[in-house]
Every structure is written in C-alpha cells, then in structure tokens.
Structure 1
Amino acid sequence: MDSQLTCKFALFCTYICVFFCICTSTDTITSTLFISDAKNDTLLSPNGVFKLGFFSPPLSINRYLGIWFNKVHVQNVVWVANRDSPLKSSDGVFKITGEKNIVILPGENQTQQPVWSSNVTEVSVTSGVHAKLLDSGNLVLNSGSGRVIWQSFDHPTDTILPGMKLGVDKRTGLKRVITSWKSLNDPGTGDFTLALDASTVLPQMYGRLYSYPVWRGGPWNGQIMIGLPTASRIKPVEFSVEAALFNYTFVNNKDEVYITFGPDPKVFRRLKVEEAGYAEQQLWNADSKEWNIIWTAPQDRCDKYKRCGAYSLCNNTNSVQCMCLPGYEAEKYQEWDMNCVEKRKKLHSSCGKGQGEGFIKIKGLKVPDVNNARFIKNISLQECELECFKNCNCTGYASADVSVGGRGCFAWYGELIDVRTNAADGQDLYIRVDAQELEENIRKRHGMQKKIKLIIIFLVLSVVALLIIYWWRKRVSKKAQERKKRYLEMILEDSAIDPSNEVSQASSLADKNNLELTFFQLDTILKATDNFSPATKLGQGGFGPVYKGELSNGQEIAVKRLSRNSHQGLSEFKNEALLIAKLQHRNLVRLLGCCIENEEKMLVYEFMPNLSLDCFLFDETRKSLLNWKKRHDIIVGIARGILYLHQDSRLKIIHRDLKTSNILLDKDLNPKISDFGTARLFGGNQSQANTCTVVGTFGYMSPEYILHGLFSDRSDVFSFGVLLLEIISGKKNCGVVPDFDPPSNLISYVWARWTAGKAIDIVDTSIGDACPAHEVLRCIQVGLLCVQDNSPDRPTMSAVVFMLSNDVNLPLPKQPVFAMYRSHNNPDTIIYDTNSSSINELTVTNPVGR
C-alpha cells in the first residue's frame, strides 16, 4: 500500500515538473540548456517583447532560427541567424558548444557540422558562457565575467531596431549593413542593401541594388544627415505618437562611424529594407493591428540616385522635373536623364585673372554627392569661397556644418551629381559661373526683385481695395438693416388705422422679433415689371393693380401694388405681411417679400401662370379643361390649405375671404390660396371673435358674420362649402339661378335638388357623364354640411378633409334657411331671405368610426 502511494506521489511530481517546464519560458541558454526545434522551444526576452525560435517563412518548408516581435500578432522576423543555410527538417538545435560559440546543429548529435556559428575566436573566454535575449531584440553572448563577446546587433539581416548601429567599426573593420531577403518566402541574402559608406570625405547613406546606388542619404551637416527623415519630413500617422519618430544619432570618431536611433518604450518601430529595392521606416499601430509606413527611401522620383544626370537639378514639384544648374545647358534631354554641359566652352578661361567670375547661390538643396568633394575643416563660408577661387577645377561649395557656430565646408572638384530640391531640410549650394552668367543672374535677380516689389504693391493695393469693399458692403448692409428695421416698424405701426381692428390684434400676436420678410429695392421691381408697363398688368383688386414681373435670376413674380388712395389697401398690406411671411404650404401662395420705398408699398408673390380659379370655372371656353378628377383635386387641395391655416400652422389664421378669385392655379392647375389682407390671427384657445367692420365677399360670408359680425374657423368652413358647390356646378352662388322657381341662389338650388334626390343634376354640363356619381354626391353632401346656418353644425376642416378622402357614411345636412341672392330685376341689389321654412325638421346622424 505504501509503495503504491509512493509511486503515485512520484508520478504527480513528474507531471508538475513537466507542466512547469512546458509553461515556463526562459531568456537564456547555457552550455547545458539549449533550444530544440522538435520540442518547439523558444527564448522570451525578460518583459516578453521579443521571442527567439525556429520558424518557416510562408510557402516554405525550410527551417530558420530567428527573432521576432512577440507582442505583434503577426510574426514579423527582425533577425535570422542561418539565413543562407536553412535546415531541411524540424530537428535543429540552438546551443552553446564547448568552443564557446553559439551554433545551430541539424540535430542533437554533437558530431554533426553546424550550419551556422557565431564564430567567436577569442581564446581568453572563461567558463560560464551564456547567451541571453534582451528586450531590445539583441541576442548577446556573454563570458563568465559578463563581458559581451558577440551580439546579433553586430550582424543585422534586413532590419534595424532601435539601438542597432548602421556603420563601420574602424578598429575591427566590422561593417554593419542591412540586406533584403531574397523574397517573401526566402530570408537569404538579397540584392538590395542599405549601408553607411565611410569611404567618402564625410559618410553618406546609400541604398544599392546589385552594388549600384539607387538612393543617397547625403552627408551629416552638423544637425541632420541630409535626406534622412526628420519630424518635418515624416508622413503624419493616424494615431498619437511622439513627433520625432526618427530621433537618430550620428557618431564619427577614431574608433567607429555609425548612425543609430534611440528606443521608445511606447511604440514598436523598425527600419526595414524590402526585396523590391527600397527602405521603409515602420511604426506598429496597435489599434489597427498593422505597420504604418512613415518614411520611405527613395521617397519620390527625385530621390533616385542621379535622376537627372550631372550638373542638373531635380525638382519633384515642377511639371518640368529636370533642369540644368546655372552656367550649364542641356546637350540632350530625356525624362530619365539630362546631360548638362557648360554654356561657354571656356568657362574658366578667366580663372584667377579677376575677370568677374563668381558664384550663384541656390537655396534649399540636397547637396551633391561628396565622393568628388574635398572637406575643409575650420574655415568660414567666405574663406571657403576664396579656397574654391584658387582652383580652376572647383565647381562649387557649400557649408559642411550648419549647426550653431559650426565651421567647415565642402568644395567640389568635377561633376555635381544627384542634386535635388529639399525644401524641408535643404542647404545652400554655391555654383561657380563665369562673368556673363553672373551678370545675367544679377539682372534676373534685380528683375525678380522688381517683380516682387510690384507684386507686393499689387497685394497691398488689393488688400486696401478689399478692405474698402468690405467697409462699403458693411455700410450698405448696415443701411439695409436699418432700412429693414424702419420698414418693419412701418408695418407694425398701427397709428394710421383704428387700433381696435385686425391689424392691431395681428401685430400684438405676431412674433415681431422673428418676422422673416425679404425687402426688395424699388429699382428691382421697376426693372422686373418694365416700369409697371400696362402689358405686364394682370388685373385690379381692392388692394390695387397686380403686375407680372421677372427677376434678374429668371424667377417670375406677381407684384401687388398698393393704390396710394386705398386706406383698405394699407390695412391689407400690413395684415398680409404680418400673417403669411412664415407660412409654407403647397396649397398657399408664397409671399416672396415686399417693397416699401418712397410712397410705394408692394407685395411680391410667386407667379401663378394660370391666374385664378374663376378664370376657368366661369368661362364657357376654358371650363372644359377642368374635368372631374382635376376639380376633385382642386377641392381637396383647397381643403388641405385651409386645414393648415386653422390647425397645422404655427399661428391659427381665419382667412375670411375665401372665393374662387382668391384661389390661384399654378402651371399644373394645383390650387393655392391667396389674398390674406382680411385674414385674422387667433391666439391661445380663442375660438370666436367679432368685428365692427364686416369685410369679405357676399355669397361666401356666413350668416352669423353678415348679421352679427361674428366669425370663427367655421366661417371659413361656410365659404369653403360655397366654393365646393361652385366648383361642382360651375355656377356662382351670388347669381340667380333662372330656371328655379322662385329664383334663388346656388345653395337653395342645390338643397332643392338634394331633397328631390336629383343632386347629380347640378353637375357642370362641361364635365359630362364621365364623373363617378358616388364621389360627386359625397362632395355635394360635404358642401351642404359646410353651409349649414348654425356654425356649430358645420364640420371642422380636419373632418372635411377626412370625409373628402374616404368613402364613409356622412351625417345628413340641415336645410339652409338663410338665403342670399341678387335681385333678378336689379342685379346690384342683394336680397336676404330668412323666411324659408324647413321641409324636414328631423335629422338622422349615422355615427362614423374615426
């Protein structure tokens, strides 16, 4: 029993140890601890930033030992050990041998030859050698005393990480160069390299393809390495990072020359060379899970080495990309090459003879390749010019140190190659020219200065002119505002009329502060109406004449001109301006604005090409154009417009003068209610009002309004009922129906036909028999409901719209006992008849579900 327990306990301990070994990662290998590909072993840097292990590229079965970002979800390899010696199977081992080297073996058999080795030859290494992966991505091989005897940063592949050096160790001759992969699936040494060339007078960065330069970074100028990215040249990124993404350092001393950029714990970044032949500075975006490219070399066409040939300047912003430097001209020109030669064969024939030779300065350039330049230390720019003058082969010079207080210069002897504009971080280049070229340049410069002066004068005058225009327009606008304020005060001022009338009450209820009304200039109206030409006159009303006009933008308008001796017209003008300035409905005519100038007062409306409804309805020729469908649409449109006035608009408005002549028709014969001069505005819960002055048109006014001056929204319902019956019958309500005995008005005639069961007989004969009888009869019944004598018996406009649009059972109308018609013998006399008796005093109402 005890032996069984002991075995189980031992087995449990074994499981625990195995689990601990599997779940625990290390950052170090020793002579006894190694990495096996078969066991999927890896090294993990102390904070988990980088991982080392065996991997296979996409679409490849070969195995390599590499280092990649551990916290980036995509495996981005930054260093490969055996890039040119792949393993063919997954049994490789990465370990430290007895010779104090880290090696990759194709299996755990010590007798096999390594496929890769660190090749440390130092014999003074003591025991205790170990290799460790750091959070910088550097794999270091340390001696027992902790001294670094080898590191992966000294042997980069295709990527430079923060802290890596790109350059040359002058003591050992070690060259730190990054080289592209052969392809996406093969990390072997490719064809594109990026290196710091220390063989020139000042080190320069070069990108080479097959050993041929394709890009040049330019020399160090004391502050930056020309051509490398700075904060001003880096592309903006979509997420928040530090501005100086490429905060690099350049070191050039007796021991080594290199460039490096510092680490930033907030972001992952790398400088990588691609197999396609370019280098990229990349930044990891943790939000989008992708690498953002913030800088590329070459950046553009002018960044390509020797893009425009010798003695030429490449400008990527010009339509003509290549141009010769001062003193040179194109011998031949092609898009990819420009062969510039001296303008005059003996450019330096006067060299040293004081014949007027000089230098022309070009600003903002990436200076030429310094391979054929001489670096002169500790002299000023003026001294450099004198040095260049001494040698007839000197073609130009530039400062070699633009840092504060810096001294030194470059002097070129021979061709000036790979010159381009570099506005962000460019330098000044001084080109040697002969006297004639110098004189031409001075003349051009003076001419340019003169042009600049003229441009400045023009700009100053333009600014002054703009200020004057601004001041004038502001003054005109101020005057217009003052004029508008004055006009509004004139509209709202009630002293000219009885303070108890409609305008005073409308003025008290209207929103004066937000009254939106456009004021037209008198000149505009005169031009639009051809000075109120008789040919433009549309008609005449109580308000005054109405004219057709056309504004400068082609819009047609109708202008109601107030007669100067019309007191009623003044009241209507003010009332209409107050009430309908803000009304917007498809069945209301739109008030565009008004004109108040000198003695003129005018209202400007949208123009209705088909004039008013009575022009069609009571004209024997044109009434045939109104078939039943069109008449029904007009009836419903008028009803919806009245409903808007009574219920749906911001203000409750009683029109008080609904009649056929106040129903205008647009080009499609759609009805629009007009003429709000006698309208009244109701406030709050007000439902009825009375007036001492009865205004309106006989035949359309309700009995309570004519007899007692009482009006409400049901007064408009009565007028609508009359309108409806007129539209159906084609007869005027005020006219005497001659074939009716006794002669009476339209309402009485329709009622008689209705009670006799012959209501269909009232339909206008021009319609014919094409109209649906049930729809016509429903409209007639709605009209009779609207013209009932007792105002509470009349339906509301919302009920009218519902009844006209739906086939429902309708209440029976009561007999209208108030009759009004013109005398047959004297048409100017209005006869009121209230003695008619009801034929049937019993009414039946069918309840209708709403």
Structure 2
Amino acid sequence: MKQVIIIFFFSLICFHNSLAADDTIKPNQTLQDTGQTLVSTGEKFELGFFSPPNSKNRYVGIWFKNVSDLTAVWVANRGNPLTDSSGVLKITETGNIIIHSNKTEDPIWSSNSSAKDPTLQLLNTGNLVVKDGSNGNYTWQSFDHPCDSLIAGMKLGKDFITGQSWKLTSWNSLQDPSIGTYTYESDPRRLPQVLLLKGQDIAYRNGPWDGVQTGGDNPLQENAVFKPSYVVNETHVYYTFENADNSTVTRFWLNPSGSPGQLRWNQENENWVSIYTMQRDHCDTFARCGPNGICDSSDNRLDCHCPTGFVPKVQEEWDAMDFTSGCVLKTRLNCSESERFKKFSRMKLPYNSEFTVNGSVVRKEDCELICRRNCSCVAYAVARLAGCVIWSADLLDMRHFSDGGQDLYIRMAASEFVTGSNKSKKIVVIISAILGFILLCVVGGCLICKRTSCCLISQEGTMTPTHLEEDVELPLFGFDTIANATNNFAFTNKIGQGGFGLVYKGVLSSGQEIAVKRLSKDSGQGPVEFKNEVTLISKLQHRNLVRLLGCCTHREERMLIYEFMPKKSLDLYIFNQTRDTALDWKKRFNIIAGIARGLLYLHRDSRLRIIHRDLKANNILLDSEINPKISDFGLARILLGGDQTDINTKRVVGTYGYMSPEYMMDGHFSVKSDVFSFGVMVLEIVSGKKNRRFEHPDHNLNLLGHAWKLWIEDRPMELIDVLMENVPVAEVLRCIQIGLLCVQKHPEERPLMSSVLFMLDSDNAVLPQPKLPGFYTERTFIETASSSSSSLNKSNNVSTGVTVTTLQGR
C-alpha cells in the first residue's frame, strides 16, 4: 500500500513537470499560478504568472526563458491584475483564452477569440497563438496585440486589408504594466514613418522612410545584432526585424518615460545593453523650432534657425530663445512663373507630406513641375519609395544633419536667387522705375481717371455692361467684398492658376463659398477674354456647366466670381492616383456622360451655339457629388447664324494634346474640334493616363496612338486603368470605341455630340468601326512639359500662339 501511495504522488509530480515543460494547453487543461508555465519548444520563451519588481500584483505574461532578469515582452491582463496567487489560465472549447481566479469563474481577461478543436500554443518565436484544429490556422495571436516590446518577427505598422494595426504602448511604470502615457506607432497616411505620441500629441518622429533610409539615419542594412526591414506595398506598411543569429536576444522597447530603443541582452554581464536609441538630442523634439524652422544640433551657438529666404515670425521671441512661432518667408509667394525652388540638403523631411506621383523612378524635374502647377505647394522632394512628395502647408519638424538626410526643395520668390552683382543692377533698375513711374503719374494722372470699367452698377444693383451686349446682366461685387471673402487674396486661399490669372477660394458674409478668378496684369488673356467669358457664360444655364455668379471691376482689376467646386478638377482624380483614391468606373462613366451632355448643350441646345476650344481634364470641375461641370470659357467662340458650322482663325489657342489636327495645323475649328478634345478625355478617363505625357516601353506613340494600336490588335481591354476593379467590360469597350470615333483624323468622320450621347445611353447601339486617329505618328522628339505660354513660345510652336493653362480647380 505504501508503495502505491509513493507511485501516485510521483506520477502527480511528473504530470506537473510535463505541463510546465509543455508548450500547449487544450480545453481540458489549465495553467495555474502555482509555478506552472508553458515553455516554447526551443526553450526561448516562457509563459506564466509573474509579478513586476516591487509589486504584489499578478499578471500573465511572456518572457525570455534564458534571461536571468525576468523581462516580460507581452502581458495579457495588463489593465486588470490579480492581487493573489489564485489565477488560472485556460482555453475554452470555443477557442477563447480566459484568465480568472480559482475562487470564481468570472474572467478578468479574455482574448475574445474563437476556433474549432482549439489549441493554445507558445511558439519558439515568442508568439502565443490559438490554433484551429480543423485547418491548422491561427485565429488569434499575441503578435497582433503588442504591449511595450517588439521582438524578432513582430510588426510595427498596419494591414490595409484587414485594418489590423500594430503599435507599442508603454507601461505606466516599471512596477505597473497598465497602459501608460506613450504610444509608438506607424503613420501610413503619408510617407511611411513612425511617431512617438504622448497622449494625442506628437513627441517625436523618426523621419519618413523613402525606400532606403529614415530621416537622417544611414541606409537600412544588416548589422552584427539584428536585421531590420521596412515593408511598404499596397496592402501593408510595417517595420520588423530578425536577430542576426539564434544566440542573440534583443528587443525594441518603449520604456515608461517614452524613450524607444533597441536593447541586447549581455549574457556575460547579465544586463540589457542599449545598442540603438531613437531620440538622440533635443532636435528630435517634434517641431522644436516651430513652423518652417530648422533645428541643427551641430550648431553650438543656436539650435534653431530660419532657412535661407525666411525670417523669424516674432523676432522678440527668438531673441528670448523661444522658437515656437517659427519662421515666415521674407517675400510672400504669388504663384508667378518667376518663383523658383531652393535646394536644402541633408534634411529630415517635414511632417504632413502628400503623395502626388507614385513610382520608384521619378525625375526631379517632374516633381518640380507638379509643385509649380499647384499654387498651394510650398516644397517638394523626390522619395525613392514613393516618387514625388509635396507639402502644401507650414513645414514642420525639419532638422539638418551633418551626414545623411534627404534633399528638400522649398519654393521662394525670384528675389532670393539674385546674386550680389545682380543686386546692384537691380537697385539701379528699381530707382529708374520709380522715377519713371512718378513722371508717368504726373503726366498721365488725368487719363487714369477717365478710364471706364467693363461693368458698371445700376440703380437696381446689377451689372450694366457698357462694352457687352445690352441684354447681359450679372451681379456686380464690390472689390472690398471680394477682398474680405478671400482674406485679402491670401496665398493660403489660392486654389489654382490659368492663362487668365490666379483663382482664389472665398467665403461671402452670407456663408456662400465662391471661386474668384482674378485677371493677372501680365496674363496672356486680357479684356477680350474677360468680356468673352462674361458674355457667353452669363447666357448659359446647364447642370454640367459651371455657374457664373457675377463679376468685379476696380481700376485695373477684373474678376469673375463662380460657384465653388469643392472637389476641384477632374485631372486630380484620374491621373497619378492610388488604388485607394482612384475613381471607380461608375463615377468615371457618369463624368463622361455629364461632359457629353454639357457639350451637346453648348453645340446645339443653348441660346448661342458655342465652341469651347479649350476642353481638357483640368477645365472639368467636380461638385461635391463628383458631377462634372465644364468651365473656363475665355477662349470660346460663338457660331454666328444657324448655318455656320466652322470658323477659320490665324490665332490658334488651346492646349497641346487636346487640340484637333485641323485646328492646330490650319486654324480651322468647328464643333468637331470640341468632339476631338472630348474623345481625348474619354480615353484619358478610361486609362488614367495623360495623352501628351503618355509613355510606353514598346513604342513612342501618344495615348491616342496606343489606344488605336490596342484596338486594331484586338487588345483594347489593356487600355483600362489597372486601379479599377470589376468593370463592366461591354460598357468600357463601348466608351473606348466612342473615344476612338471622336479622335479620328478627319473631322467629317467624327460623330456629333448628339450621336455620342445616343451611343453612351444605348446598350444595344451598333457603333461604326473607328478609323485612324489624328496625330498617329511616333514621336521623335521629347515633348516639353511647359505649362505657360511664355515657355511654349521658346519651342517650335511659337507661330501658333498656343496657351496652356494649369488651373487646378476652383
């Protein structure tokens, strides 16, 4: 009998030890706070109940098995500890992990997971998983719920498909694992970077990842301790690392005081050694030098300074070593062609970046052109990961590195680029100009007073034109009203630029949002175009045409006031998009049909038969519901008489890539010229590519030529924008065919807009086969990327007088 009792107790001891050495728990097993633990197969990690230093509270955690100083890298019940050793850990029949006291079945923590025939297992990576017995998949894992530590194989970032995010949260103190003040997380909305947050405020950021390096760090590469990697694609953005070898023990730790860094366990000295610290000096404090200020820790005299071309916003505060107000430009920007970009090297790129062109191979010149065309763009950079990146607000959290960093190009007035020798010449010119101006004022003062305005105000408060047709009446807005609405034409209110001048967003005292088109003094379009637009658009009323609300004249000022289009222009939504921002096919088709209806109204149904002459993607504005509205009638012409169908002109105006062959070559335009431009837009909307800037590795054709090549080779579906999914094939093919019919070389072969609408609306309509498009030749020269008439006049097209606008929407 005595031998039986001894054997019984011996078997209990063996069972206890086997559980302690096991790495799994089944639903019929429990792990209790009596020294029982789970140990991973390779004995790298251990799970069980523990108490932090100088604390009696009990938690379930995972720690390194072979590290003498118990270091918990994951804690389950971090916000709800047990106060004694009554804890029990188990997994239910449905796959839910539960921690409770042996005194009650009420859970103090659960994983809220589920699985069939579940098993709870501690892997040798330190990952605690719930395994589904029916398929072997993990239905829950501790790696998806990090605490304050990142170990090899864990991720810091986001899964865009599932919405899963991985971030670190600090302990409240070394004795309290509950969620503390600091969070370390990825910011995937812009250039990928990691932010340290104190509450809701950014305390530090490591700088953007450009595909090779972050901030001022050296290019990411393997080292003797760990192998870091950054993964950025359409579905994931995350940072991770692997240990250099199996004997190395490391962790990335966010300590309770908010200092993240990489640590290595020194087995010989039995302590943790810091091998990499994220925050190195006070220049790593977020936005230490305020908006547009640059921090430089190598400057022993002053950490903060303003970049060339800037001055302290509040000099008194800077003198008192308070830099929070930051810097402002010496010379305010006015979005003129003379503005240039100054290069700043070895920089930590500012916060709040915006992608414009994605791709690994993008030229600096392309990025500069994109920024120049956007009046709100104040700086740009070329990132090896994302292509072109721009900034449209204050430049925050910049710093200069003695080594590493990236190039930043900041927009400045032309005066900041004047050399010393040119400055003296400039002074002489300015003095001469002032004297000349004074003389002109004396001699011609009386003449100025006699000048008449384009629009005069009547007793009823409406505009009575003196040089327009007698039946044109529009509200006349006072100059002060428009100045107040646009915050005195503030740079921050600029939303576009065209051949006419600048476009501002404004808000009237009534709360109505408006777009103000202000004639530039040096504009290629002057009083004639102003009168033309007022005359035409005041008589046009259609849901697919932008609505003119009134005009304003004041001395030399001429302004047109339009309804505000919150979604800006079409080109922003079809070119250079990502899968998340691209328009779906339904919206694209509605835009095509809406433009067609607006054109039919202009050509046939309006009081005046009008040829637009400058149809293009950035002259199509979008309202809040993505409905298209044709805008910019400064170049439009009226067809006089019911029988007139075409006009000849010696002054060709329009935009390369959209002008029909007969108009560009011979000055001959008609409604079929607009049809050609419409066809170009249809193919651009379908493909998401620009006609004029289109490039293909197999040929030098433009988009029209590429579309024609695919059509005759019976491969038209290859034209479709890859960012669109689940498109109705028949409808898309019909639009491609309509687009090719509209861009045929000979105008008489192109359909009228009435036929185009019929073809768009009829699923069973039999469409004719398209013929060769206009400009179907391989380019043997590099097309310029000019965006103004001044730059175009330097090309071979000077005789055409072509003007190209860069309006970005109103």
Structure with the bigger RCO (C-alpha within 8 Å, sep 6+) is 2
* Structure number, greater radius of gyration: 1
